[in-house]
Structure 1
Amino acid sequence: MNGSDSGEKAFLGVIVLDTRFPRPPGDIGCPQTWTRAGIPARLRVVPGASARRVVQQQDPALLGPFIDAARSLADDGARLISTSCGFLAGWQAELQAVVPVPVITSSLLQCADLPAPGIVTFDAASLHPSLLRKAGVPAGTPVQGLAPGCELQSRILADDSVLDLAQAQQDVVAAAMRLVSRHPQVRTVVLECTNMPPYRAAVEAATGRPVHDLETWLLAVWRRAQSSSTRRAG
């Protein structure tokens, strides 16, 4: 694992979809998300990996290119590898099998360790039970999607170069409110979509529940790893 044990070279590797839609800070595919946290990161784009192909088609032809991207990042010294789409949880096992460093493809993977989770997803119709099982999501976990055709969903699927961020926030908050209204037993909200973390605070304020997403998880994992390295060095 070239450079993975070197504090100088170690970095977070993010496998990113091939898109042009706006990614505000907090979005996993936004470089500022990591620079503001003081985490060195390298983003590796998978050519041709559109949101439609990954989310709605779950195109198996993309698995090979994603594996190549993971191997490339690990060879370059990534200490931790993630992705910019929660639906890639379906390939968690395949990606982890080809690299010697931890892979966290999706926030869905943490559902099993959270109290009474409920999921807000980019596309409920495409979040099939088989994918949830692969991610280890407990059976019966409530799932609520964005309203089909809403600002955030339509702009991403069309790979549009503009996005109304205020409306996108309203879209995510509305989905979260539908989730907790229909399933009041939900104690923790999990944002499946890696484009949703910019709206986390608004969801927490609206639902009154703690909100978990891929950004918060990766930050915690990275900081724990850095802390352990510092203790070992001392």
Structure 2
Amino acid sequence: MVAGYWRLRAQKSPEAVIKILARRALAQDKVLRMSNAAFAVEEGGDVVVVESMKQAKSRSRTKRSVLPGQEKRIVIPRQEAFECIAEAAQDKSRQLREKFYRYHRQTWLWFLGCAVGMSGVIINSVLLALLILIPGIFHYFTPTLLTLLIADALSLLAVALIFRQTKAFCQQVDFTVEDMLQVDWLCKTVKDIAAIPLDSPTKELLQEVLLVRSLGGENKRVVKEYVKAVYLK
């Protein structure tokens, strides 16, 4: 289970957290599931959410075939979509910080457990070495040697397990930090765009660019207009 989680996490790009956040924020209708919906940004910045054919067929009570164009659609105005993503980004940032502090505390506790276990291993090893190296004492303390040897082996096993758990929590902290950086970037970008005057055409274009990029799409028209507005003035 743990190995599968890390393999899945390794395949996930850092930007995926923004894509999931944005799509979940805009999939407002309970009938439309985020995982089964298609998202598109129309000219002007309005977001269109369309359910998949599979979901449309399962929703149909008559079980008749659903033709293209009969899927459930939601049109979200540009400003409303922008505000939904902005609010979701703030909530996600707060959740990630709470998650980071929780994982950081758990990692520290597991590290302390690992340090205590290693101390026990070192003490047992020193006692074993003394009992073995002192001449003539080996025969008198054979049961003690066996007890220390078993305790040392069990301590090593416990330390190995604790170390593995500590490493797993460290990786979770790293992944959480990556997500925090992405979401903090989104929050800062949203804040900068919101500070632009309402009557500025650049604000509408930047909102459209943000919607396209956060939803995981590429719109060449939007990119060209953005480059023209920002760099070719």
Q: Same fold per TM (> 0.5)?
A: no
Larger radius of gyration, structure 1 or 2? 2
Give TM class, smaller chain: under 0.3
Relative to the length of structure 2, the TM-score reads: 0.27
Give 1 or 2: higher strand fraction.
Answer: 1
